[in-house]
Chain A
């Protein structure tokens, strides 16, 4: 069974600075998908970024980028130019090749301070 681990329960960053959230996973699959979701206080879970394991290039979405290290089974999220609206719980999630079941990590609570 796949497992996803986020070792940082809480993090904080100053506005306009850069922060990196860590995620590691365990799988025997060679092809899979990885996601970062954001859950602000409104509780609405929103997709931040998606990575396909067969793609070597790291995914980027505006201020959000990932560092995908397949051999190390690591999938960290970098947020540049942090904004107050980035304050949220961030979840790393894994999806295998044969279905759409998502396995989530425990989450990292990120607080952006003014």
Chain B
């Protein structure tokens, strides 16, 4: 595997389900991000992790719970979602970003996304 991978690519869940999205980066980066992409809206930054520490939570509802066990893996745990949470969820990574005081302005590399549908 190269770049940034995401699983699953598609997910359909009921409002009472609990599921998790997984992201893995193979680029040696130390910052990882979750974005939400809804139809006809700009990409919204949800969470930022730098060196496994969460450095930003963009006022995301608590039904979304991120986890970053190491610099290569990022999870988004989902529970009791609403139909309006249906969207494309994109993961990204970069080097020395995330507000950790390192080099800024570096490119973010994106995964292919998980298309989430909440029934």
| Residues of A participating in the B interface, judged by any CB pair closer than 8 Å | 4, 33, 35, 37, 42-47, 50, 52, 91, 95-107
Chain B residues, Cβ within 8 Å of A50: 105, 107
| Residues of B participating in the A interface, judged by any CB pair closer than 8 Å | 31, 40-43, 45, 48, 55-56, 88, 90, 92, 94, 97-99, 104-113, 115
Inter-chain contact B42/A107, CB cutoff 8 Å:
yes
With a 10 A CB-CB cut-off, give which of A37, A43, A98, A100 has the most chain B CB atoms.
A100
Q: Which of B88, B98, B111, B115 contacts A100 (CB 8 A)?
A: B98
22 pairs, CB–CB < 8 Å, chain A vs chain B? A33-B104, A37-B110, A44-B112, A45-B110, A47-B109, A52-B105, A91-B43, A95-B105, A96-B104, A97-B105, A98-B104, A99-B97, A99-B104, A100-B94, A100-B105, A101-B56, A101-B99, A102-B45, A102-B108, A105-B42, A106-B40, A106-B41
Interface residue SS majority, chain B: loop
Inter-chain contact B43/A101, CB cutoff 8 Å:
no
Chain A residues, Cβ within 8 Å of B115: 43
Inter-chain contact B112/A47, CB cutoff 8 Å:
no
- Whole-angstrom CA separation of A42 from B3 in the bound complex: 15
Inter-chain contact A100/B112, CB cutoff 8 Å:
no
Q: Given A101-B45, A106-B40, verify A43-B113 contact (CB < 8 Å).
A: yes
- Whole-angstrom CA separation of A98 from B106 in the bound complex: 12
Inter-chain contact A97/B88, CB cutoff 8 Å:
no
